[in-house]
Amino acid sequence: MVRTVRFCLLPSILSCLALAWPANAHSAEPPPPRHDLQEQFRKIAKEIKQYLDKVSAKDVALGEFTPSPDSRTKTVADPLLRQVIETELMNVKVVINDKSECVLSAVFSLNEKDKEGFHYWTLNLQLRLPGQANPINLPTPVKTKDMRILPQLLGVTGVLTPTGSAVERNQELGMMVAEPKVHLDGEFNSRIGASKESQYRITILAKKPDGVAKERSATVRNGEAFMNLDLNEEYMVRIENATQHEPAVKCSIDGIDIFEFSEEKNEQGSPKFGYYIVPAAKENKPGMAEIAGWQMKLGTVKPFKITELGGGAAGRLNRKDQVGTITVAFADCYLPNDPRGNGRAANVETGFGQEIIQPQVSVERRFDVVKESVTIRYSRTPTPGR
């Protein structure tokens, strides 16, 4: 059975057209900012530009984003954060170059509650310039407790109440960090959900070279889903939706957005597409979509393939902070004219298989807040004596 995938085109980081089942493609006007990171990074991008001008540099590489020792969470959903930074740097004419001698890195933390009862997230940036022994600590840290963006920054698993207040959702997020929980079901414990009650399930289908893709079983470790994936295996991410509505899905592998390598860019040079749209359930059967690999262009993907450390997508981009993770986040989505869409340790990594065709079309949608997120951790099967 051939599946035509629908996904979302990104005119900006916050409004998108999506990869989906057959529909007409549209363009979308960028909406006003929906979270408080954009304005902060806009100011920081100007500071970075001033430092680069002093050494006559025009480009910068994005280094590692690592947790501080006292952070309540040790993971960060890297793609969204990097996309915000890249967009604002490009807006001030700074080129992103992975081989640049100038390197921007960061240390982040999720801290205890502030006086208003919110958990808040902090990012401290450092800029290393050629010829200088020590990196420059940028004077202004990035801080947010904005629940429109915070769930996407943390690599955790759980359910957030879409209609809850900012305080309620923030408290739910704090519990997800402090006491992670995940639900497994299916014949092989291969269907993974944020909770038993969740209407969404994620399954990883893996195959050895020249083999047949089969569901891979998972286990629970410290409240998180874990599975083994071996060298040279290829895998895909199957998503089931038991609701009567289409959710938008954002997926990252090893902390890298699956659209990172897409040849199709917007005017700012960022990937045009950003989300997959999963069909609604029909006739008591869940809607289903399969993310078969890294998006290269409309209708073409390269399968996810397990490589040695340094040999995959993370190695290509010199990103090590999220290797060994598969993260899927869900949000409600609506047609463009619908007012509800205004929103309120690893030993392998994933690389590229041979390019394959996957039928796809683009559709326009507006998105609400993230309401569920699932992170699956993977590594190579232990080998005696290794």
Residue 29: C-alpha distances to residues 8, 13, 17, 80, 201 (Å):
14, 12, 11, 20, 32
What's the CA gap between 170 and 61, in Å, rounded?
32
What's the CA gap between 281 and 248, in Å, rounded?
14
Residue 31: C-alpha distances to residues 147, 151, 177 (Å):
18, 20, 31
Are 202 and 346 in the same domain? yes
Are 236 and 169 in the same domain? yes
Q: Which domain holds residue 248?
A: 6-31+151-379
Are 162 and 73 in the same domain? no
220-224, 278-282, 296-300, 377-381: which has the minimum mean pLDDT?
Answer: 377-381
Are 271 and 353 in the same domain? yes
- Report the mean per-residue pLDDT for the chain: 77
Domain termination site, one of 94, 120, 145? 145
Are 323 and 344 in the same domain? yes
Confidence class of residue 172 from pLDDT cuts 50, 70 and 90? confident
pLDDT for position 343: 44
pLDDT for position 171: 78
Instruction: Determine, yes or no, domain membership for 385.
Output: no
5-19, 106-120, 239-253: which has the minimum mean pLDDT?
Answer: 5-19
Instruction: Determine, yes or no, domain membership for 386.
Output: no
pLDDT for position 203: 96
Instruction: Determine, yes or no, domain membership for 299.
Output: yes
Confidence class of residue 196 from pLDDT cuts 50, 70 and 90? very high
109-113, 229-233, 355-359, 366-370: which has the minimum mean pLDDT?
Answer: 366-370
pLDDT for position 148: 60
Are 93 and 212 in the same domain? no
Domain termination site, one of 118, 145, 172? 145
Model confidence at 383: pLDDT above 50: no
The stretch 262-281 carries a mean pLDDT of: 82
What's the CA gap between 32 and 45, in Å, rounded?
19
pLDDT for position 127: 95
Model confidence at 6: pLDDT above 50: no
Q: HSE of 109 in the Cβ direction (CA atoms, 13 Å)?
A: 10
Model confidence at 244: pLDDT above 80: yes
pLDDT for position 4: 41
pLDDT for position 257: 85
Confidence class of residue 1 from pLDDT cuts 50, 70 and 90? very low
HEC string for the chain: CCCCEEEEECCCCCCEEEEECCCCCCCCCCCCCCCCHHHHHHHHHHHHHHHHHHCCCCEEEEEEEEECCCCCCCCCCHHHHHHHHHHHHHHCCCEECCCCCCEEEEEEEEEEECCCCCEEEEEEEEEECCCCCCCEECCCCEEECCCCCHHHHCCCCEECCCCCCHHHHHHHHHHHHHCCCCEEECCCCCEEECCCCCCEEEEEEEECCCCCCEECCCEEECCEEEEECCCCCEEEEEEEECCCCCEEEEEEECCEECCCCCCCECCCCCECEEEEECCCCECCECEEEEECEEEEECCEEEEEEEEECCCCHHHHHCCCCCCCEEEEEEEEEECCCCHHHHCCCCCEEEEECCCEECCEEEEEEEEEEEEEEEEEEEECCCCCCC
Bigger pLDDT: 87 vs 57: 57
Counting residues of the chain whose pLDDT is more than 70, the rounded percentage is 74
4-8, 323-327, 334-338: which has the minimum mean pLDDT?
Answer: 4-8
pLDDT for position 340: 61
Are 42 and 107 in the same domain? yes
Model confidence at 58: pLDDT above 70: yes
Within 10 Å of residue 170's Cβ, how many Cβ atoms?
22
Tens-place pLDDT, residues 104-160: 988 887 776 677 777 777 888 999 999 888 999 998 788 877 666 666 666 677 777
Are 50 and 190 in the same domain? no
Are 127 and 175 in the same domain? no
Which long-range contacts (C-beta less than 8 Å, at least 24 apart) are formed by 333-337? 333/18, 333/246, 333/247, 333/248, 333/275, 333/277, 333/365, 333/366, 333/367, 333/368, 334/365, 334/366, 334/367, 334/368, 335/364, 335/365, 335/366, 336/26, 336/28, 336/364, 336/365, 336/366
Tens-place pLDDT, residues 70-119: 665 655 545 667 777 887 898 899 998 888 999 998 888 777 667 777 77
Number of domains in the chain: 2
Are 198 and 100 in the same domain? no
Are 111 and 80 in the same domain? yes
